[in-house]
Structure 1
Amino acid sequence: MLSKKIISLVTLLFCTTLLAQTSFKKAVVTGKVIDKTTSKPMEFVTLSAYKSDTNKLITGTATDGNGNFSLEVTNGIYNIKFEYMGYKTNTLNQQNIAGDTNLGNILLEEDAKEIEVVEIRAEKTTVEIKLDKKVYNLGKDLMVKGGTVSDVLDNIPSVTVDVEGTISLRGNENVKVLIDGKPSNAISINDALKMLPADAVDKVEVITNPSARYDAEGGAGILNIVLKKGKIKGFNGTLIATTGIPDNHGINGTLNYKTGKINLFTIQGYTYKSNPGFSDVETKYLNPDNSANRYIDENRDNSRINKGYNGGFGLDWFIDKSTTWTNGFNYRKNKGTNEEDVDYYNYDANRIYTFYRNRLNLEKQLEDNIEFNSNFIKNFKKSGHKLTADVSISESKNFSNSVIYDNSTLSSTTTIDDTKNNQKQKRTLIQTDYVFPINDVFQLEAGYRGNFLNQNTDYAVLNNGVINTSFTNVLEYIEHVNALYTQMGIKVNKLSMLYGLRFEDSNIEINQLTSSQFKTKKYTNFFPSAFFTYELGDDTNLSLNYSKRINRPRGRQINPFSTYSSNINLFRGNPDLNPSLTDAVDLGFLKKMGKITLSTSVYYNYTKNSAQHVRYVEGLNENGIPITTMSFVNIGEENRSGFEFTLNYIPYKWWKLNSNLNVFRTETKGNFSYTYVDNTNTSITKTQNLDNTASSWFTRLNSKITFPNKIDWQTNVTYNGSQRTAQGMVKGIFAMNLAFSKDIMKDKATISLNVNDVFNSRIRRMQTYIPGQIDSDTAMQWRVRQITLSFTYRFNKQKNEKEKMPKREDDGGGEF
């Protein structure tokens, strides 16, 4: 009886599938587009096919080098639109496509009026909302002129960058940052983003809940920074010169040469930056009964200078109209100094001054990054059917040396310490993806990714020429991750579904060569994902997404030896730190209402083995001063929920507004045990309870007004709300940026002025309270108010030469 039911069910499914396939019979529409005046074929003309009854966009393509086009649609009645910058749009209405159809020659005529007012630059900032990500095309964003990629990210909705350069997505720091879809070859991604010029960025992809196609790293999601590459035929380029206060000088340029078969492109730049900053820490050390034991005020002034070169070369080879092979080489070199002057004022329990110490740290740093990328794309005849392969090989070196002078009123002797921090990193990335649309209903995708990382850190401290074994160490970190994934996309009427499963095999070695601590961690994980989007109308949709993510500890998080910038406030990694696993759910709603676009989402993340910052007193130094240590530990779990609201509003053609609001709640549960050594050298085990529930919020408002005579004025206001932690509180931060620009020289050039942090208020203020140990207040400013003037000049980008690139059917995978 059961077998008969199974046979009946299989037969029913087969008949249903057969019926669906026959009801979506395909037809190929062909033809050729010709310039009406010159009778020459036109390349890169955009074609769009709309259903005549609903005016809904069904598919699109572009003409090849000979003006020919081929468009695959299901049988039906369509309006087919032909568009090209500077030409009148030609629309063929009510085309009854009942089989393969040749439309013949399509003539396009120049629009004299349009040519006079056409934008010659792709400067309009736009947002593309896709099934599993949002794409922010930067366009003419005045705020980032002369800035860095960190400034770019700090202007993207859902993203915040704090005063130390730490990036958060929806208030969560566990975010994976990619450059052109690959991990950065830099040893520190935050440092790399503060050195890479903003003018090199084309767009930013924000993936709050990545599908199985993407690397599973990053519990908060993924930020993919896509760099610029030339798109316009012929020889053209852009030159940008900047100057600013404090010192912010640079010159950056892009060159591009494109023919029918190749596209040569390069970006070159040099910057000189000065970044003064400070931090103040006022600490009250407590007795077990919470009475005062002593006070120390630590005042730190930083004067950073960085000289950087960033260069890259690339070649696109259009082997044929469906095959492209791209090779690129990038080199970045940065040379910097940092003068760090630290004053320590010591007081007794009654806050009576006892003695003073000064610690002067003179640091020199040199960083080299080399990277080679190769990308192969094969588009098959069927729309959306393609194969891609990528290889990336990179090597980074970061050499840092410091001389530290230590003086105290308790001694007439000056101690001289030398530190060395040499880091090397090699990374190889191999990836291939295959997308196969079975029909209009089903799409299959599969791929492989191999990420192989080797990082070596050689750290040494010498006290008056004698090696300090408490700090000197060599750490080797090896990470090999092999991943396979598959996805099935299904589209039924207004419902789109994407089911995926990713498998990752992780093999990690943490070798502390100095202390002969060798740890190997091997684990395999499955990462499912599911995405549902329902079109409530032409301008409204509802989405529900789920994915599983991982955070692997690495670098300074796992090195058990301390840093030496301060000998009473230490940072020490934890080699026993385990990866954290996160389950993420997101419910989103998008509505377009004329001049208003509204995007909202409710999200929830549950994390096991969540890695948290902790701060504790581990003992006393030789002068009896408590030593405070910061480290990472795995706690039991973390629950994070929130609501996000994004609004774009264009009240007038000359005024654009957009705002972003994120409200979230974080609940952590867990304990932390550590060893305290008292003044009798007795070890005591202590435990801290890290249970904590905290709510916070941040908001951003951006306004852009265009005045007559092509003058733009942009204002950006942000506020990050205060947030309680298990050991204290982080206070709120308000900041405002202003920018102005004016097009000159017949629109071939633009002059811009921007002020970053107008009120010089971007200061991170924290309170830390650990009963029986410490009660401290910290204020830190990584960068003071910055005023920047920039000049941009574009050459060989004539108005009648603007060309549109063909639409990529699926540049992110897993979409329809």
Structure 2
Amino acid sequence: MKNITIILFLILATPIFSQYKNKMSQRPKVEVTGTVIDFDTKLPLEYATIVLTPLKGKKLTGGITDSKGNFSVEVPKGSYNISVEFISFKTKTFQNKILTANINLGVIPLKINAESLNEVEIIAEKSTVEIRLDKKIYNVGKDMTVKGGSASDVLDNVPSVSVDVEGNVSLRGNDNVRILVNGKPSGLVGLSGTDALRQLPADAIEKVEVITSPSARYEAEGTAGILNIVLRKGKALGFNGSVSANIGEPERYGASANLNYRTKKVNFFTYLGYNFRTSPGNAFTDMIVYDNLDAIDYYRNEKTDYNRERKGINSRFGIEYYLSENSSITGTFLYRNSDGEDIGTNYLDVLDNNLLLTESSIREELETEDDKTIEYNLNYTKDFNKSGHKLTFDFQYNESDETEFNFIDDNTTYPSFEQEADERITTTESNKELQIKGDYTLPIGENKQFEAGFNLNFEDLTSNYLVEDETIDNVTGEIISGVFANNTNLSNSLDFKQDIYAFYIQFGNKINKFSYLLGLRSETTERSIKLIDSNEEFNKKFTELFPTVNLGLELNDTESITLGYSRRLRRPRHFFLNPFESRTSETYIRRGNINLDPTYTSSFDLGYLKKWDKFTLNSSMYYQYSTNVFEMVQDEEYREIDGEETLVIIRTPINFGSQNRYGFEFTANYNPFKWWRISSSFNFFKSEMEGDYNGISYDNDDTSWFTRLTSRITLPGKIDWQTRGMYMAPFESALSKRKSMTSVNLAFSKDILKEKGTLALNVSDLFNSRKRRSDSFSDNTYSYGEFQYRERQISLNFTYRFNQKKKRERQGSYDNDGGDEMF
């Protein structure tokens, strides 16, 4: 109430001092300016109070900050005590300030005043998307369509990001995007990638940051850019939190709790969740095989039904200890354990060129999987007395273990029933990763800033692939049921080590309305691959420099332009390097390339931001030039399968040629009425590939685009209705053509129990249309296929908050552009 009282005092005191108006107006005046931010979140504080008390005289002068945290107060020359205040924050005071000329107090961070807080946390209802000059921020809490969902569902709703039906994440149509958790690589997205994202609950995520032109402080991995997943961590005083439960069809259920307890010196926070879900899916492929004269030889039609079950526990525990007012140490422990059972039943029909059935078979694959991840984090932060002067150290260690067992039962059903030898495949992967990171920030004067830091990353991964075939009696030719032998032609073991040593410096400056941030990063990579069975070892070491340039120009309070350049790379993961064959089927084989080198990309990004009263538009044009590109190429060969010569397709990655990518995108927020909000994003991109392999040209020129539209309407009875639609246009590569895809999500939400509880009904993929449909080509084949990983999902989610209270956001604050955070 203190700052409210001062505002009222300033208003009511005006008539009392009006007699001095003419006299004071004749004295020379100076302008006092600055920016007020939250010390913890670094976000601007709107409506903070600035009070100037003259050392001589009794007239108070003051003002309040705008939506960007900026203030400007004009006062007569003289000596003043200046105080900056905001409810529940500690007051910042400047004593005995002699004002003889215009002065900028710079960025003023205010810290939370723990003594003034009670045990009620105010939870702001942020909009789904915040637009900043350097990035876009997607706030998860406001999006009803991901309630009870996973991190994969969250990413699929983020501007500029698309997630295909198999869970592969792309940024601006480029699948080489670096995914971080709390600003660092994490075991949460380590070994299994897409499966790991499906296991991380949406309830554990606070926001996702989309960074398309990263500065030098970020690692150079990821030619498309960076997606930073920020996990929830409460800060309110006392004990508070929320619990959630969900149930759905196809069968799914889960429960989670976000808890927080804070004293003056210690903050405890935790997330604990359990989920069980089934994901029925389906696929089919119709293939035509041609002979050497390009005439149809035969038809091969496959249909697969998937029944998946997965359950898991996700937990995160953390302690933040405040060593002093300016320093703290935070430790977190993460544990995830999930297991699943998938059954895939494949029905195969082979027809001759007259469409007469010649062979049928059923191949059933039972897959069980067990994943475990343990992660330890330790962070030390020191804020020096000078605003923005900061030192941080991070230590992170994680272990991930994944065991996958596949049992394949293959039987011929036509023209006669024949039981084929069963097959067992066991894959075990163990990964250990250590990261040590330090960052130092030094403000120089009011508008300059120097940064330097290092990042050491050590990764050690072991992969074992065991293939066992059911034994066949050499005399009778009959299968010896239950007796398996190692298939040494396919089984293999690999040890992969990769150490990265990175250092960076960068310097930023703001000159009036123009800002620049220049950086240089060096990364040395040492890679070692050992084939354990043959005792062969392949080592590579390379050092590269990665310059970054980010420029910004504020044309006015509502309009700005940014220009960014960065050089980045794509290192091949271990599964791209493993030279042994791994099979998704007997006729479709994948093989790695142990000599694969990184891809290097130079990216340019030109952005334009414009704000109106009810409308915000953030648009950008981008261009990326990549060299040493590695892509999958396709070979064909005939192998004996079940006693017959059969065409087998082999895919492997190679480095070849170069690629140009350029495009245009925009994100828009529109608030036509208090009860209706609309947000949309659009991305248009073009890709040009040049390269040859084995005399085959892989030159490709393709154009595609995708768009999303989200509408949120408040219905009578304070029921929120949210609809999100997505359209992905057709796309063509050198080997395939992907057809368009459309999907719609629908959700309704209602606050109950005096706004302590929220009930949300969510329908994912309302029209059951989220399917990959594609045509594929090779020298001797043409095929058309459809794949649907997960069918339509309906879920009901309930959240209950205790010692928390909702606060409706202020009009217009949802599209804050963060224009002053140039660096």
Q: 1:593 matched to which residue of 2? A: 612
Distance in 2 separating the partners of 1:63 and 1:368: 32
Q: 1:107 to 1:632 in 2, by over 3 A?
A: closer
Offset at 1:106? 8.9
2:783 is equivalent to residue 787 of structure 1: no
Match of 1:167 in 2: 169
1:323 has 2:300 as partner: no
Does structure 1 conserve the Cα–Cα contact (< 8 Å) formed by 2:280 and 2:789? yes
Aligned pair partner of 1:349 in 353, 363, 367: 353
Shift of 1:119: 10
The aligned counterpart of 1:683 is none
Q: Which amino acid is 1:151 matched to?
A: D
Which residue of 2 is the match for residue 230 of structure 1? Answer: 234
Once the two structures are superposed, the pairs formed by residues 489-508 of structure 1 within 5 Å of their partners are 489-508=508-527
Q: Is the 8 A contact 1:35 1:108 kept in 2?
A: no
Shift of 1:348: 2.1
Aligned residue for 1:625, secondary structure, equals strand
What is residue 9 of structure 1 aligned with on the other side? Answer: none
Equivalent-residue separation in structure 2 for 1:613 and 1:406 (angstroms): 28
Q: Which amino acid aligns with 1:570?
A: I
Relative distance call for 1:376 and 1:105 in structure 2 (3 A) is closer
- Corresponding residue for 1:458? 464
Which residue, out of 442, 461, 472, partners 2:448?
Answer: 442
- Tell whether 2:722 aligns with 1:714: yes
What residue in structure 2 maps to residue 426 of structure 1? 432
Q: Flag the 1:130–1:308 CA change in 2: closer, same or farther, 3 A.
A: same
Residue identity in the other structure for 1:546: Y
Range 698-707 or range 507-516, more displaced: 507-516
Name the SS for the 1:605 alignment partner. Answer: strand
1:481 aligned partner = 500
CA contact (8 A) 1:132 1:211 kept: no
Inter-CA distance 574–705: structure 2 relative to 1 (3 Å threshold): same
- How far apart are the structure 2 equivalents of 1:550 and 1:63? 32
Give the drift of 1:406.
1.0
Is the alpha carbon distance of 1:267 and 1:83 closer, same or farther for their aligned partners in structure 2, counting shifts above 3 Å?
Answer: farther
Deviation at 1:798, TM superposition (A): 4.8
Query: Is the 2:692–2:699 Cα contact (8 Å) retained in structure 1?
Result: yes
Q: Residue 415 of structure 1 aligns to a residue in which SS?
A: coil
Give the structure 2 partner of residue 81 of structure 1: 64
Correspondence for 1:5 = none
Q: Report the CA distance shift for 1:620/1:814 in structure 2 as closer, same or farther (over 3 A).
A: farther
Matches within 5 A, 1:620-659: 620-622=639-641, 623-659=644-680
Gaps of at least 5 residues in structure 2 are 7-28, 42-47, 53-59, 90-116, 471-483, 810-817
1:618 paired with 2:644, answer no
- What is aligned with 1:385? 389
Q: Which residue of 676, 683, 686 maps to 1:662?
A: 683
Return the offset for 1:319. Answer: 1.1
Q: Determine the structure 1 residue equivalent to 2:195.
A: 191
2:790 and 2:292 map into 1 onto residues whose CA distance is: 38
Specify the alignment match of 2:422 in structure 1: 416
Alignment of 1:756 with 2:739, yes or no, is: no
AA aligned to 1:58 is: T
CA 1:294–1:383 in structure 2 vs 1: closer, same or farther (change >3 Å)? same
- How far residue 467 of structure 1 moved from its aligned partner, in angstroms, is 1.2
Structure 2 distance, partners of 1:458, 1:71, is 65
User: 1:723 is matched by which residue type in structure 2?
Assistant: F
Tell me what 2:158 maps to: 156
Aligned residue type for 1:60? I
> Residue by residue, what CA displacement relative to the aligned partner does 1:238-274 show, whole Å, maximum 9, x if unpaired?
0100000011200011110011111001100000000
Among 728, 733, 746, which residue is 1:738 paired with?
746
Q: Distance in 1 between matches of 2:273 and 2:507?
A: 43
Distance 2:61 2:605 in 1: 36
Alignment-derived partner of residue 287 in structure 1:
291
Cα distance in structure 1, aligned partners of 2:516 and 2:84: 38
Tell whether the 8 Å contact from 2:247 to 2:797 is kept in structure 1 after alignment: yes
| Partner SS state of residue 421, structure 2 | strand
- What's the CA shift for 1:463? 0.6
Q: How does 1:57-72 map to 2 (within 5 A)?
A: 58-61=35-38
| AA of the residue aligned to 2:759 | I
Q: Conserved in 1, the CA contact under 8 Å of 2:49 and 2:62?
A: no
Q: Which residue identity does 1:564 align to in structure 2?
A: R
Shift of 1:80: 4.6
**Partner amino acid for 1:432?**
G
How far is the alpha carbon of 1:71 from its aligned partner? 10
Alignment of 1:6-405 (within 5 A): 58-61=35-38, 80-81=63-64, 94=74, 101-103=81-83, 120-125=122-127, 127-185=129-187, 186-405=190-409
Question: 1: distance between equivalents of 2:212 and 2:493?
Answer: 36
> Offset at 1:351?
2.8
Going from structure 1 to structure 2, the CA distance change for 1:194 and 1:126 (only over 3 Å counts) comes to closer
Structure 1: distance between partners of 2:495 and 2:77 = 64
Q: Does structure 2 retain, via aligned residues, the 8 Å contact 1:443–1:488?
A: yes
CA contact (8 A) 1:33 1:63 kept: no
CA–CA distance in structure 2, aligned partners of residues 291 and 799 of structure 1: 69
Aligned residue in 2 for 1:17:
none
Change (3 A) 1:628 1:778: same
Count residues in correspondence.
731
- Kept in 1: contact 2:337–2:372 (CA 8 A): yes
Distance 2:236 2:631 in 1: 48
**Alpha-carbon offset, residue 53 of structure 1:** 10
Q: 2:593 aligns with which of 544, 556, 574?
A: 574
8 Å Cα contact 2:36/2:65 also seen in 1: no
Distance 1:458 1:61, change over 3 A: closer
Alpha-carbon shift at residue 800 of structure 1 (Å): 10
User: How far apart in 2 are the matches of 1:53 and 1:596?
Assistant: 35
Q: 1:459 to 1:206 in 2, by over 3 A?
A: same
Question: Which amino acid is the alignment partner of residue 736 of structure 1?
Answer: V
Query: SS where residue 583 of structure 2 aligns?
Result: coil
The percent of aligned pairs where both chains have the same amino acid is 40
In structure 2, the CA distance between the partners of 1:425 and 1:502, relative to structure 1 (3 Å rule), is: same
User: 1:78–1:97: 8 Å Cα contact kept in structure 2?
Assistant: no
Residues 489 and 814 of structure 1 are in contact (CA less than 8 Å); yes or no, is this contact kept in structure 2? no
Deviation string 1:327-346 (CA, Å, 9 cap, x unpaired) is 00000000110111111111
- 1:367-421 deviation digits (Å, cap 9, x = unpaired): 1100000111111111111001111100010011121111114663331111100
CA contact 1:79–1:92 (8 Å) conserved in 2: no
Report deviation, 1:33.
5.8
Runs of 5+ unmatched residues, structure 1: 1-31, 38-51, 110-114, 674-686, 803-810
Aligned to 2:624: 605
Contact 2:630 2:655 in 1 (8 A): yes
Change (3 A) 1:281 1:97: farther
Work out whether residues 72 and 383 of structure 1, in 8 Å CA contact, stay in contact via their aligned partners in 2.
Answer: no
Equivalent position amino acid for 2:726 in 1: T
Note the C-alpha offset of 1:443: 0.8
Task: Give distance in 2, aligned partners of 1:719 and 1:254.
Answer: 34
Aligned equivalents of 1:763, 1:55: Cα separation in 2: 59
**Using a 3 Å threshold, how does the CA distance of structure 1 residues 155 and 78 change in structure 2: closer, same or farther?**
farther
Contact 1:33 1:108 in 2 (8 A): no
* 1:814 Cα deviation from its structure 2 partner: 8.7
Asked whether the equivalents of residues 78 and 96 of structure 1 are also in contact (C-alpha less than 8 Å), the reply is no
1:188 aligns to what SS in structure 2? coil
Q: Give SS of 2:124's match.
A: coil
Letter in 1 for 2:654: V
Deviating more after overlay: 345-354 vs 724-733: 345-354
Which whole-Å CA distance do the structure 2 matches of 1:274 and 1:418 have between them? Answer: 24
Residue deviations 1:114-161 (CA, integer Å, cap 9, x gap): x9xx99423322544445322222231101100001111111110000
- Distance, in Å, in 2 between the alignment partners of 1:107 and 1:648 is 29
Cα distance in 1 for partners of 2:462, 2:724 equals 41
After TM superposition, give the deviation of residue 563 of structure 1 in Å. 2.0
Q: CA deviation at 1:613?
A: 2.5
